[in-house]
Amino acid sequence: MNKLTETALAKVKAKAAELTVGRHEVNAVVRLNGELIVAEGQMIAPTASLMSVEFLLLTLKAAGVTREHAMKAVESVAGEYLVDWTGSAADKKAAKKARKDALAEFDPEEKGKAVFDEFKNRLPKIPRKGAVKFEGTVEEVALTGGVLVEVAKEA
């Protein structure tokens, strides 16, 4: 969902707050006033395609770690450095700092990161569409049934 759709949907949700729990059909028309800014597309490394779990386990295997020790290590690291995403912002920030500190202690010259970056840079680039940004106001939202909801102009 793009930002323009998110903005329009947020306005519809806000004005339809009185709806009961359940599924409701909606047919909304949103009038916008402003500009759409479309950025140029670019070629990027497909880092999301890197299978990080497979990469991690194969690295451990190459280092001579047994399956049992690898699983214990993964569980230990997950328990120590990964925070349940329902945790507080402070917990998440502390966990991120702990991960960075542990990595800095283990690999102060960031050689591991350099090896990974070199590998990542050898991957074929894939196209990514340019971002679309809306600068302007949502002026009104018309909902099904001819109900017109006026929305205060916002930048």
**Residue 147: pLDDT band with limits 50, 70, 90:** very low
Q: What does the pLDDT look like over 20-72, one tens digit per residue? A: 777 767 666 777 788 878 888 888 877 665 667 788 888 899 999 999 999 99
Task: With beta carbons less than 8 A apart as the criterion, state whether 91 and 83 touch.
Answer: yes
Task: With beta carbons less than 8 A apart as the criterion, state whether 8 and 30 touch.
Answer: yes
